[in-house]
Amino acid sequence: MNNFDNTDVEKIFIKGENQINGSVTISGAKNAALPLMALSLIINKGFRLSNIPNLADTRLMAKLLADLGTTIDWQNDTINFNGGPQKDEASYDLVRHMRASILVLGPLLVSKGTAKVPLPGGCAIGTRPIDLHILVMEKLGAIVTFDSGFIHASLKSDGLRGGVINFPKISVGATESAIMTAVLAKGETKILNAAQEPEIVDLGMCLIKAGANIKGLGTNTITINGVKKLTSVNYSVVPDRIEAGSFAIASSITKGDVEILNVRPGDLNSFLNVLKATGSNVQIHKNSFRVSSSKRPVPHNITTEAHPGFPTDLQAQFMALMSIADGNTIIKETIFENRFMHVPELIRMGAKIVITKQEAIVNGVKKLKASRVMASDLRASMCMILGALAASGTSEIDGIFHLDRGYENLVDKLSNLGANIRRSF
């Protein structure tokens, strides 16, 4: 029961086989907005963030920051933050709903000198450990202990000081923790094997605009020289490349034609190259791209990888497309240990998929059949939507509170593109 939004009884109904045609404007990126919002804990006055998507996750982060004592003035897609945290302990009732809450650990430690953050829960796609976030805190001079489900971090007498953080594996969130914690530490910090996602570059660019000294964003080695303080800053969140990729697949899977506006195509190079290889037409412009298709997709094997490889957050959506391809596709998931929860639901729609360890072998069928299906996590819920858009008949999708975590105004956007879609109890 997701009692945060109390939307777990709502369903989405889709009558499939409508072509998805027209243009759609992409919202700000959830996975950039969340760390950027956490910066309000260390940029204590005059911090304005715009292009923030109105999602369950961004609303939750706003509640978490307000509970810590930050003043939040949220008008439309813009938040004005004022005043830093008044306390050093994050609320368990809020943290337990969202893994990304771990992103307040570093900024809270920087701001208060101590931080108490509940251990975030796992989720459907995996155990989601946080050991690399703890590594960051210890490498930058913190003492970290665990007590009754809480992480307790505090600083030694000489405070936060720079160090070398050599990640044994690539982690988006831990790289973000390292950046947010090192920018005000004394001396130089080197982050090796850093994640290179566009959302991390967005976080770093905002910090540089606020006076931080960061080099190497978007590469696997980031060098930070600590500064004394950060100045006030206005910043706009980068467009959501995963939402953009999801709409691109909506066009391909329904043999439609969609212009995807307010996006940075360069953030999706590997995905768009794969989409072209499946037979979709992709026209790329400066701040938009157009995807159309007139035939059944051609199979194309993928392996999910850290950026700039094929994004794990588009794996489930791509599997929906390959489930109607003219042949077999191998989809390998290397980032999360359990990111195939959408497979049994696609099979209910008539897909033919076999899983062996981290690989799904998709034997394409001509047509999916409408069915009642259950969404298990955010991207799996989009997979169900995409399957239903292509399926013959009317599908019923439960568990759509997952969808509200990461897709802003999805039903309206799809309906404006010609989908026969409604949401009701």
Candidate segments 40-48, 166-174, 322-330, 410-418, binder of ligand EPZ by CB under 6 A: 166-174
Query: Smallest gap, in angstroms, from Cβ of residue 33 to ligand EPZ?
Result: 9
- Interaction residues for ligand EPZ, span 321-360 (CB under 6 A): 335-336
Q: What are phi and psi of 145, to 5 degrees?
A: -130, 165
Is there binding between residue 207 and ligand EPZ (CB under 6 A)?
no
Query: Smallest gap, in angstroms, from Cβ of residue 316 to ligand EPZ?
Result: 9
CA distance 5 to 56: 7
Using omega within 30 degrees of 0 as the cis cutoff, is the peptide bond preceding 311 cis? no
Is there binding between residue 132 and ligand EPZ (CB under 6 A)?
yes
Residue 55 or 275: the one with the smaller Cβ distance to ligand EPZ is 55
Query: Smallest gap, in angstroms, from Cβ of residue 113 to ligand EPZ?
Result: 23
Of 119, 123, 284, 330, catalytic: 123
Can you tell me whether residue 127 is helix, strand or coil?
A: coil
* Tokens matching residue 299: 């199979």
Candidate segments 108-116, 171-179, 233-241, 244-252, binder of ligand EPZ by CB under 6 A: 171-179
DSSP label at 218?
A: T
Determine how many CB atoms are found less than 10 A away from the CB of residue 16. Answer: 23
CA distance 280 to 265: 15
- Interaction residues for ligand EPZ, span 394-413 (CB under 6 A): 406
Residue 120 or 256: the one with the smaller Cβ distance to ligand EPZ is 120
CA distance 216 to 234: 22
CA distance 315 to 355: 14
The residue within the footprint of ligand EPZ, chosen from 379, 382, 389, 408 (CB under 6 A), is: 379
Binding mask 102-131 for ligand EPZ (x = CB under 6 A): ------------------------x-xxxx
* Closest to 244 measured CA to CA, from 290, 199, 278: 290
* Closest to 298 measured CA to CA, from 331, 272, 322, 268: 322
Is there binding between residue 312 and ligand EPZ (CB under 6 A)?
yes
Residue 79 or 324: the one with the smaller Cβ distance to ligand EPZ is 79
Q: Is 383 a catalytic residue?
A: no
Residue 34 or 400: the one with the smaller Cβ distance to ligand EPZ is 34
CA dihedral 189, 190, 194, 197 (to 10 degrees): 60
Q: Give the torsion sign (CA, 85, 88, 93, 406).
A: positive
Q: What residues are annotated to the active site?
A: 123
List residues near ligand EPZ by CB under 6 A.
30-31, 34, 99-100, 126, 128-133, 169, 171-174, 195, 312-313, 335-336, 378-379, 406
